[in-house]
Chains A and B, each alone.
Chain A
C-alpha cells in the first residue's frame, strides 16, 4: 500500500507519543478532551500510564481492579478526579492527591439509565449522556457527594461529542433527528436540529464527524450521492440564527469505500482507506454554487500521507527504522487531527505540509486565497509573491498581482481598522467591558512585509508598475502608504523620470507626508527641479517651515526665506545672525542691505533702538554693513 509518489501534503507529526500497545493484558483508552492516552494494564491493578497531550507529561498510578472491564476512563481537566466507567449504569470517581489516587475514597455514582458516555465540562462537573438524556452532576469530593445540577430529558440513540466547542450531537430515538446540544458548566442548551432534508433518513453514528472549521462547529455527514453513488460529505455549519445548523457545503469525494475525517488547520481532510489517499477540502474557497449549497472538489487530486519511519528503541546507535503502515486498519482517528495506531502503540498529530502543497496549486489567485487561511501560510505566501514578482514575472501577470494584492490588503485593512478601534479612547460613560482583544487574522501581510519583498526587485524595468499596483490596492482599502513604501515608490518614479506621476501622488497625499520623506525627495532634487517643487509642496503640507527656510537659504533666496520665517515663526523669533550670515554669503549688497534693514526695524519695534542685542552676536555683520554702506558710499549708490 506504500505509495511514494514524491509529493506529500499531509504528514504525521514528529512529536508522537508512544504507549503500550493493545494486548491481552493491556487496554488503551483515549480521552479527546484532554488529549490523554490511557494504557491500562490488568484493569488498573498493575498500573495505568497516562500520556498526553505531549510525550513528556506522564502520570503513572495503580488502582484495584474492581470487577468489570473498563469501558471508559477520563480525567477531569485539572487531573484531580478520574472518572471510570466499568458498568453500563455506574461511574466511579477517584479523587487524586498529586499524582496518586486516594483509593479509599472512591465515589460510585449509580444511575438507573444506560450510560452511553460521559464528558467533563468543568473541573468538578461531569455530564452523563444516557439513553434518557443528558445530566450534569457536580462532584463535591470533601463531602463525597454527587449532586445533579442540570438535566435534559430526551430519548437518545447515540451521541457524538466535540470537546473544542462543548457541543454534543444527539441522535434521538423519535424521528431520527440530530440535535446539537451545548453542554457547559451548569448549562445545557438545546439548539435547532440538523436539517437532513428527508425526515425518514437515518444517519449512522459512524458516518458523523464533529469538527470545528474556521471557528464554526461543523457536522460532517458521509453519505452516498443519490445519483452517482459516489460518496459525498455534507457539511452542516452551526452558523444560522440561534446557531441553527445549515447545510452549506458538499464535498465531492468521487470515490466509494471507507472514509475517515480529520480537520487540520481549518481544512477538512478525508482519508480513503482503499486507495490510501487523503483528500483536502477548504470550504473557504470558491466552489460550484447550487441552491445556496457550495459543491467542492478536492483542492488537488488525492495523495497519501507522507510515509513515517519509526525509530525503534535499540541498543545499537543506528537502531532500526520501522516503516509504519499508513491507513492501517488499526488506526483510530480522533478530532481534530489525532491518529492513533493501537497495535503499534503510537499516537500522532496530523500536520499539513504546506510547501509541497503550494506546488500542487497552480492557480496563483486560488493559492493566495488558500494560504491566507492557513496558520503557517504567511511565510509561504510571501515566498510565492516573491517568486511572482521576481523570476516568474511576466507583464501579463500584472492583473493577477492586482487581485492578489487586493486579497491581502482586504485582510490587512480589516485588521488596521480593528486596531484603530481598540486604540480610540472609549467615552468614560461606556462601561469598559473586558475589551475583546480581537485576534489577528490568520495570515496578516502588512506593508512592512511587502516592502521587504518589493525591495528585492528594486530598479527593474517593471518595478514601478508593481509598486503602483500595490499602492492602488492599499488606497482601495484606505490604508496609507508608510515611509518605506513611499520612499521605494519615489525612487522608482525618479529613476523612470515619471515626475508627473510623482507630483500627482504627492498632491493627492498618497505617499507618506513626513519630514523624512520630504528630505528624501530633496536629496534627489538635483535630478530634476520638479522633485524639489514636490518636496517643498510636501513640506508645506506638513507645515515644516523650518526646513523650507533652510532650503531657501541654501538656494540663496534669503528674502523669500525671511518672509516665510516672519510669517511662520513670528517676528520676535527670527534668528538675526542666521539670516545676516546667509545674506552676506550671497555677496549681493542689495540683499544684505534689505535683510539688515529688516532687522534694524525689528530691533526698533522690540527694543526701541536699531542696535542689535549682544546675545545675537551680529557684530561682524554690523561692521560689514557700516563698511559697505558708509554714509558717503550710500550717496554714491543713489547717484549711480
Chain B
C-alpha cells in the first residue's frame, strides 16, 4: 500500500438555507436563498447549488415522502438535507476527508467518503437549526405575509439578515467538524451524579418559580454538567447547555461569583430565548446567575416587561446565600467522589475499556470516552451506525426490543452493545487476542461495575 503523504480532514464546503416558495417566478431565484455560507461567492453559484438541491429533493420525493431526502454522497462531497419546518431546507455540504498517496511517482488524492457518518453529521445539521430556534424562534414565524407579496419580501429580507448575523457567528465558533462524534449525534447530556439529599435540595430550588411567579423555569448546572433539568425538553436543554458552555469562558471570573451574581451582558435587557412549552415555541428572557461553580438559568416569561434592576436585586438577595451554600456543599461532595474514583482509576491505561451508557428517555449519558486516549474514527462511526435513533414520538408506548451485539473491527477493537428498557449500553474494548467469551465476560464486568445508578435486570 502506498504511503500516505498528507491527509486532509473533513471540512465544511458550504451551508445554505432556502425556501422555494420565495422565488417561484423566473428571475427571482435568488429570493429562495435565505442564507449561504460562504458569503463571498458568486450569486449565480449560490442559485445553482440551491437549484441542484431542490432538484435532488424533488427527485427523491417521487420515490418516497418529500421529507425522506437525507444525504447525498458524491466522490468529493457529502451533502446533508434537513427540513425542520415545512418548506425550509437546511443543506450542509461537506468535503470528505482525503489522503494523498504517491502512486507511480504521482500524487493521487484518495477520497475517503466512507469515513463520513451520515447520522453524525445529520445530527450536527439538525443542531444548527435548533440553536437558531433557541435564539430566534421558528423560521416560519417571521414570515406572516404571503411569500411573494411586498410585505413578504420585506420580511424575507429581514429573516435573511437575521440568519446571516446568527450563522456567521455560529459557524465561525462551531466545533471542528472533524471532531464530531456520537455525542453530537445523540444530543445527550451528562448529568451530575449527586447524593440524593443534595439532589433534592437542588431540585427544590425550583420553588423559586413559586416564590417569583414570573420565573417559569429554573435549570441548574454545576460546571458543565446538568444538576436539574426541570421540565425543559431534551432538545432545548441541549441547546441551552451548548449556549451556556459557549458563553461560560467569557465570564469565568470566579471572584465576582463568590457570593453569586447575574451574568449580564453589557446590554440592559437580557437575551431572549425560545423554548418549547407544552408543544408551543414561546419566547422567554434567559437570566443566568452564577454562584461559585453553580449556574442557574432562569426563564422569565417574555410576555411581561423585561426584568428591572430591582428584580435582579431582589432575586440576588433571596437566593445568593442559599445558592453559594449549595455550591459549596456540592463541591465538597464532588471532591469526596473524586478521591474515591481516583483510587479506582489510578491503574487505568490508554487501552482500558471505554463505555458509554445512554438513556433514550432522558437523553442522559454516562461515559468515559473522553478520558485518556481517543477512540479511532472507524470505531466511532460503527457506534454511530449501531446507535438507535432517538425519537421520542414514534415509539411511545412500546419499549424497544432487547438487543445484544458484538462487533469486531479491523483494527482489533471490540464493541459490545446492549439495548434494553430504552437504554443503550456500549463497551469498547481493545484486545487483539480476545475470544468471544473473554469479551462477553469483560463487558459483563464493566456493566456491573459502572452501572450503578440504572438497573439492568437482564445481566
Interface residues of A (CB under 8 A from B): 395-396, 398-399, 402, 462, 465, 468-469, 471-472, 475-476, 496-501, 503-504, 507-510, 525-526, 528-530, 532-533, 536-537, 539-541, 543, 545, 548, 552, 555-557, 559-560, 563-564, 567
B395 touches A507 (CB 8 A): no
The total of chain B residues at the interface (CB under 8 A) is 37
In the bound complex, CA of A548 to CA of B212 (Å) = 43
In the bound complex, CA of A498 to CA of B203 (Å) = 11
Give every chain B residue within 8 A of A548 (Cβ-Cβ).
Answer: 457
Leading 4 A-B pairs by shortest Cβ distance: A395-B210, A540-B457, A508-B196, A540-B455
- Interface of chain A, helix or strand or loop or mixed? helix
In the bound complex, CA of A525 to CA of B398 (Å) = 9
A499 touches which of B199, B361, B401, B423 (Cβ 8 Å): B361
B399 touches A526 (CB 8 A): no
Give every chain B residue within 8 A of A532 (Cβ-Cβ).
Answer: 397, 399
A563 touches which of B392, B396, B397, B402 (Cβ 8 Å): B402
How many whole Å from A320's CB to the nearest CB in chain B?
Answer: 58
Give every chain A residue within 8 A of B457 (Cβ-Cβ).
Answer: 536, 539-540, 543, 545, 548, 564
B401 touches A560 (CB 8 A): yes
Give every chain B residue within 8 A of A510 (Cβ-Cβ).
Answer: 196, 200
Q: A395-B209, A504-B203, A552-B399 are in contact. List 12 more A-B contacts (CB 8 A).
A: A465-B207, A496-B231, A498-B231, A503-B359, A507-B453, A508-B199, A526-B397, A529-B398, A530-B362, A533-B421, A537-B455, A560-B458
In the bound complex, CA of A540 to CA of B204 (Å) = 28
A465 touches B361 (CB 8 A): no
A500 touches B229 (CB 8 A): yes
A468 touches B362 (CB 8 A): no
Name the residue of chain A whose CB is nearest to the CB of B196: A508
Between-chain CB contacts (< 8 Å), 10 pairs: A395-B207, A395-B210, A396-B211, A475-B200, A504-B203, A525-B397, A537-B454, A540-B455, A541-B455, A560-B458
Name the residue of chain B whose CB is nearest to the CB of A560: B402
The reply on B88 being an interface residue by CB < 8 A is no
How many whole Å from A542's CB to the nearest CB in chain B?
Answer: 10
A563 touches B458 (CB 8 A): yes
In the bound complex, CA of A510 to CA of B196 (Å) = 8
**Total A-B residue pairs with C-beta atoms closer than 8 Å?**
110
Q: For A500, A530, A539, which residue has the most chain B Cβ atoms within 10 angstroms?
A: A500
Give every chain A residue within 8 A of B201 (Cβ-Cβ).
Answer: 472
How many whole Å from B214's CB to the nearest CB in chain A?
Answer: 11
Residues A465 and B199 in contact in the complex (CB < 8 Å), given A395-B211, A530-B362: no
Proximity string of chain B (388-405) to chain A, C-beta cutoff 8 Å, 1 when within and 0 when not:
000010011111011000
In the bound complex, CA of A567 to CA of B398 (Å) = 22
Give every chain A residue within 8 A of B454 (Cβ-Cβ).
Answer: 507, 537
Name the residue of chain B whose CB is nearest to the CB of A534: B361
- Interface of chain B, helix or strand or loop or mixed? loop
A475 touches B197 (CB 8 A): yes
The reply on B213 being an interface residue by CB < 8 A is yes
In the bound complex, CA of A475 to CA of B199 (Å) = 11
Give every chain B residue within 8 A of A537 (Cβ-Cβ).
Answer: 421, 454-455
Name the residue of chain B whose CB is nearest to the CB of A539: B457
Give every chain B residue within 8 A of A567 (Cβ-Cβ).
Answer: 458
Interface residues of B (CB under 8 A from A): 196-197, 199-201, 203-204, 206-207, 209-213, 229-231, 359, 361-362, 392, 395-399, 401-402, 421-423, 453-458
In the bound complex, CA of A556 to CA of B397 (Å) = 12
Give every chain B residue within 8 A of A398 (Cβ-Cβ).
Answer: 207, 210-211
B196 touches A503 (CB 8 A): no
B422 touches which of A462, A476, A529 (Cβ 8 Å): A529
Name the residue of chain A whose CB is nearest to the CB of B200: A472
Residues A536 and B211 in contact in the complex (CB < 8 Å), given A499-B361, A504-B199: no
Name the residue of chain B whose CB is nearest to the CB of A535: B421
Name the residue of chain A whose CB is nearest to the CB of B459: A567
Name the residue of chain B whose CB is nearest to the CB of A531: B361
How many whole Å from A200's CB to the nearest CB in chain B?
Answer: 51
B362 touches A529 (CB 8 A): no
B399 touches A536 (CB 8 A): yes
Give every chain A residue within 8 A of B199 (Cβ-Cβ).
Answer: 504, 508
In the bound complex, CA of A155 to CA of B397 (Å) = 89
A465 touches B196 (CB 8 A): no
B213 touches A395 (CB 8 A): yes
In the bound complex, CA of A536 to CA of B398 (Å) = 12
Name the residue of chain A whose CB is nearest to the CB of B422: A533
In the bound complex, CA of A472 to CA of B203 (Å) = 9
In the bound complex, CA of A458 to CA of B203 (Å) = 20
Residues A557 and B401 in contact in the complex (CB < 8 Å), given A465-B204, A500-B229, A533-B422: yes
Give every chain B residue within 8 A of A528 (Cβ-Cβ).
Answer: 396
Name the residue of chain A whose CB is nearest to the CB of B360: A533
Give every chain B residue within 8 A of A564 (Cβ-Cβ).
Answer: 457-458
Name the residue of chain A whose CB is nearest to the CB of B213: A395
B210 touches A462 (CB 8 A): yes
Name the residue of chain B whose CB is nearest to the CB of A503: B362
In the bound complex, CA of A498 to CA of B199 (Å) = 15
A468 touches B203 (CB 8 A): yes
In the bound complex, CA of A556 to CA of B229 (Å) = 33
Name the residue of chain A whose CB is nearest to the CB of B234: A500
Name the residue of chain A whose CB is nearest to the CB of B197: A475
In the bound complex, CA of A536 to CA of B456 (Å) = 10
In the bound complex, CA of A557 to CA of B395 (Å) = 14
B455 touches A529 (CB 8 A): no
B361 touches which of A469, A529, A541, A545 (Cβ 8 Å): A529
A530 touches B361 (CB 8 A): yes
Residues A465 and B402 in contact in the complex (CB < 8 Å), given A503-B362, A533-B361, A540-B455: no
A471 touches B210 (CB 8 A): no
In the bound complex, CA of A450 to CA of B401 (Å) = 41
How many whole Å from B262's CB to the nearest CB in chain A?
Answer: 21
Give every chain A residue within 8 A of B422 (Cβ-Cβ).
Answer: 529-530, 533
A501 touches B399 (CB 8 A): no
Give every chain A residue within 8 A of B458 (Cβ-Cβ).
Answer: 560, 563-564, 567
How many whole Å from A518's CB to the nearest CB in chain B?
Answer: 12
In the bound complex, CA of A541 to CA of B455 (Å) = 7
Name the residue of chain A whose CB is nearest to the CB of B363: A500
In the bound complex, CA of A14 to CA of B254 (Å) = 69
How many whole Å from B123's CB to the nearest CB in chain A?
Answer: 21
How many whole Å from A390's CB to the nearest CB in chain B?
Answer: 15
How many whole Å from B32's CB to the nearest CB in chain A?
Answer: 39
Residues A533 and B204 in contact in the complex (CB < 8 Å), given A395-B213, A508-B196: no
Give every chain A residue within 8 A of B210 (Cβ-Cβ).
Answer: 395, 398, 462, 465
Name the residue of chain B whose CB is nearest to the CB of A528: B396
Name the residue of chain A whose CB is nearest to the CB of B191: A504
In the bound complex, CA of A545 to CA of B213 (Å) = 45
Q: For B207, B397, B421, which residue has the most chain A Cβ atoms within 10 angstroms?
A: B207
Give every chain A residue within 8 A of B197 (Cβ-Cβ).
Answer: 472, 475-476
B204 touches A469 (CB 8 A): yes
Give every chain B residue within 8 A of A476 (Cβ-Cβ).
Answer: 197
A529 touches B196 (CB 8 A): no
B396 touches A529 (CB 8 A): yes
How many whole Å from A167's CB to the nearest CB in chain B?
Answer: 45
Give every chain B residue within 8 A of A465 (Cβ-Cβ).
Answer: 204, 206-207, 210
How many whole Å from A405's CB to the nearest CB in chain B?
Answer: 11
Give every chain A residue within 8 A of B203 (Cβ-Cβ).
Answer: 468, 472, 501, 504
In the bound complex, CA of A471 to CA of B199 (Å) = 12
In the bound complex, CA of A464 to CA of B395 (Å) = 28
In the bound complex, CA of A529 to CA of B360 (Å) = 10
Give every chain A residue within 8 A of B361 (Cβ-Cβ).
Answer: 499, 503, 529-530, 533
In the bound complex, CA of A183 to CA of B204 (Å) = 55
In the bound complex, CA of A204 to CA of B313 (Å) = 59
Name the residue of chain A whose CB is nearest to the CB of B361: A530
Give every chain B residue within 8 A of A539 (Cβ-Cβ).
Answer: 457
Give every chain A residue within 8 A of B231 (Cβ-Cβ).
Answer: 496-498, 500
Give every chain B residue within 8 A of A508 (Cβ-Cβ).
Answer: 196, 199
How many whole Å from B447's CB to the nearest CB in chain A?
Answer: 13
In the bound complex, CA of A533 to CA of B230 (Å) = 19
Give every chain B residue within 8 A of A497 (Cβ-Cβ).
Answer: 231
